[in-house]
Amino acid sequence: MTAPLTTRLARADAGSAADAARILGAGGLVAFPTETVYGLGADATDGRAVARLYEAKGRPAFNPLIAHVPDITAARAIAQFDADAARLADFFWPGPLTLVLPRAPGCAVAALATAGLDTIAVRVPDHPAARAILAAFGKPVVAPSANRSGHVSPTHAAHVAADLGGRIDLIIDGGATSVGIESTIVACLGEPMLLRPGGLPRAAIERRLGRKMSAPSASAGDKPLAPGMLGSHYAPRTPLRLNAGHVELGEALLAFGSTPPEGAAGAKTMLNLSERGNLVEAAANLFSHLRALDAVGAGAIAVMTIPSDGLGEAINDRLSRAAVTR
């Protein structure tokens, strides 16, 4: 365990982007907003910085990281694109899509960052603060979600401070993230495969590919394909009760839509993901509402049924992971 750090908080602007680049270059850790969730950045080419990042998160070192780059040219220096990957990157980057690809020969990313796999996850984020930092730094930045391992992903700078204050050097505050749920991960290692539903709906990707994506098999040999997809990855402390048609006394309610379930009036607290039943709005609110309801000391959080089309696939994926009892 290293000594506690003083964590500075800075507003997202040109000055703080330059600061962030300087800190990254010195092997430090900087949290910054992306359009999906806040990421915790380290110099991807510096094994010691990556080791510090794993320690700050309390993350098992077998869980590999996403390398963030400013554009496709920078991505091609670290990863090999087949025709499908190029088609998706051209159309959806910058944006909430991560591609898992074979490492390029001469890829400078530290082996620890990819946990010994011969593949690498790459993404070009669509957020002015993230892009300013990547441009100023000029090297790939690995950035997992900026939460302690096992906690819910942060969508506000205050969430990052609550989890990682005293453990990292700088937090860049760019306000609430717009998408609110992590990037969709697609492996292009042969037939494209959806590894993690996320902020880019499956249907948009399949339309672009001109075919359906296959579902992931649990493992390739002895190495997990999506090692981060552990059952209890996104976990509040309070138990979740999914597809709740009623609310029991002492439960908190995570609502969706304008029709409250039976017993809603007796809920300890109620937050609505989207009163108008909009899945984009619901994704943006998901993690902050989960954090808030987790803090009220309810016996359980009753979660109303969320439709599974569009972003609903990713929302239901995160909810079912959060509901796994530990």
Which of 16, 45, 63, 178 touches ligand TXA (CB under 6 A)?
63
Q: Among residues 136 and 188, whose Cβ is nearest to ligand TXA?
A: 188
Which of 170, 195, 284, 301 touches ligand TXA (CB under 6 A)?
195
Q: What share of the chain is helix, strand, coil (3-state, %, to 5)?
A: 30, 20, 50
Which of 43, 46, 169, 182 touches ligand TXA (CB under 6 A)?
182
On the 0-12 / 13-18 / 19+ scale of CB atoms within 10 A, 207 is exposed
Q: Is 145 a binder of Mg ion (CB under 5 A)?
A: yes
Residue 111 CB, nearest approach to Mg ion (Å): 20
- What SS3 class is residue 309? coil
**Which residues from 89-118 bind ligand TXA, rule CB under 6 A?**
98, 100, 114, 117
- Tokens encoding 165: 């204050």
Q: Identify whether 94 is preceded by a cis peptide bond (ω within 30 of 0).
A: yes
Q: Is 34 a binder of ligand TXA (CB under 6 A)?
A: yes
Give, in degrees to the nearest 5, the angle at Cα 137 between 134 and 141: 60
Q: By C-alpha distance, which of 70, 192, 205, 193 is closest to 140?
A: 70
Which of 155, 178, 183, 272 touches ligand TXA (CB under 6 A)?
183
Closest-approach residue to Mg ion (CB): 145
Question: What whole-number distance in Å separates Cα of residue 304 and Cα of residue 128?
Answer: 34
**Which residues from 202-231 bind ligand TXA, rule CB under 6 A?**
225-229
Choose among Mg ion, ligand TXA, none what residue 64 binds, the Cβ cut-off being 5 to 8 Å by kind. ligand TXA
Q: Tell me how many residues contact Mg ion (CB under 5 A).
A: 1
